[in-house]
Amino acid sequence: MAVKLIEQAVEQGACCYKACDVIGISWRTYHRYRQTSGPVQDKRHEGAQKRVQSHALTEHEQKQILQVCNSSEYQNLPPSQIVPRLADGGCYIASESSFYRVLKKYQQLQRRGRARCPRKVSAPAPLCAQKPNQVWSWDITYLPTEVKGIYYRLYLIMDVYSRMIVAWEVHEEEDQDHSSQLIKQACLVHCVMLDQLTLHSDNGSVMKGATMLCTLQNLGVMPSFSRPGVSDDNPYSEALFRTLKYTPAYPEKAFKSIDDARRWVQRFESWYNTEHRHSGIKYVTPHLRHYMQDEAVLCKRKEVFEKAKQCNPARWGARETRNWSHIKEVNLNPLKEHDPKQKRSKIKN
C-alpha cells in the first residue's frame, strides 16, 4: 500500500523523499520495498522495547558527570578538556563521548565559556535583471605597489545584466567618501532614476557605512548585501576581478604609482567593455549587450551556422546548430535546492 501511494504521488509531481516522509518510511526503505520480490515484510522496530546494555552508565555515574561538568573548575571547559584533566588526577568516570551524550540528555550540550553560538544568516534576496541599470554589483580589490604590504584599492562597479564596467576608481585607501562619490558619478552618467536600481555588495565597512547608505537613500538606490564571509553571494564582481588579474596584459611587476595603476585600469576597461567576448552572455561584448545591440549580433551568428549546416548537413546530422538565443534575464543569488535525496529520487524515477 505504501509503495502504491508513493508512486501515485510521484506521478502527480511530488518529490519521492517528501512522499516517503508523509507515509512515515525512509527513502531507502521505499526502494527496498520496490526491489523485494514476493510479499514485503515491515522490518521496522517501532514500539519494540529498547535494549539496555549491561555496561551502560548508571544513574549515579550520570549525575557524577553532571556534577563534574558544572563544578567551578570545569564549568567553562568542554568534555575534550575535562576527561584528560581528570585522568591526570588519577580519576576516570566515563569516555569523552559519554560525557557529550549525558550533557545532551540533560540539555546542557551548548558552548561552554564566553564564545557565542554560531548564528545562521539567511541568504540575500534573489535579484533578477531583465535590462541594463537594474542590478549593479560592486566590490574593492587590491592592486600591488612597489612597497611590500601596501596596496592601492580599485573600486569597481559592474552591471549584472550586461557585465559592463559602469564606473571605477583607484585610491590609496578604503573610504566611504570615495565609494559615495563613485556611485553618484555612475548614476549620473547612466541616468539612473529613483527606485530603478539595486546595488549589491559584500559586508565590508565601506559598503555598509552610514555615509554610503545615506548616499544610496538620496539616490533612490536599494542596497543588497552578501552574507558575512560568503564570497559566492557576490559572484559577478569576484569573477570580474579574476578576469582582471589573470588577463595576459596584467603587469608582472607592481605599479610604480597610483597614476600608473589608473592608466592600466583605464586600458583594461576599454578592452573588457568593447573587445572582450564574455562567456556568460553568449560571447558578445558587454558594451553591445548594455546598449541592447547584442540580439542582432546573435541572430547573425545563428544565420551563419544555419547556412553552414545546409552546405554540409552530414556534419551535423540530426543535431541542432549551436544555441545563439538571446539571454533575456540574469539572476543574482537565485534560490537553490541542495537536497541530495531529491536529486537521487529524480534520477531514479
Instruction: Please state the three-class secondary structure of the chain as a single string.
Output: CHHHHHHHHHHCCCCHHHHHHHHCCCHHHHHHHHHCCCCCCCCCCCCCCCCCCCCCCCHHHHHHHHHHHCCCCCCCCCHHHHHHHHHHCCCCCCCHHHHHHHHHHCCCCCCCCCCCCCCCCCCCCCEEECCCCCEEEEEEEEEEECCCCCEEEEEEEEECCCCCEEEEEEECCCCHHHHHHHHHHHHHHCCCCCCCCEEEECCCHHHHCHHHHHHHHHHCCEEEECCCCCHHHCHHHHHHHHHHHHCCCCCCCCECCHHHHHHHHHHHHHHHHHCCCEHHHCCECHHHHHCCCHHHHHHHHHHHHHHHHHHCHHHHCCCCCCCCCCCCCEEECCCCCCCHHHHHHHHHC
Are 285 and 176 in contact, with CB atoms under 8 Å apart?
no
Task: Read off the pLDDT of residues 223-275 as tens digits, 9 standing for 90 and up.
Answer: 999 888 777 788 999 999 999 999 999 999 999 999 999 999 999 999 999 99
Amino acid 345: pLDDT: 37
The whole-number pLDDT of residue 295 equals 95
305-319 per-position pLDDT tens digit: 999 999 999 988 888
Instruction: Give me the pLDDT at residue 29, please.
Output: 84
Instruction: Please list the residues that pair with 167 across neighbouring strands.
Output: 157
Q: Output the pLDDT for position 337.
A: 56
pLDDT digits (tens, 9 = 90+) for 135-146: 999 999 999 999
Sequence spans of domains, the chain: 2-35, 59-105, 127-273
Question: So what's the pLDDT on residue 344?
Answer: 41
| pLDDT score for 97 | 93
Residues in the chain with pLDDT < 70? Answer: 37-51, 113, 117, 337-349
CATH number of 127-273: 3.30.420.10
| pLDDT at site 164 | 97
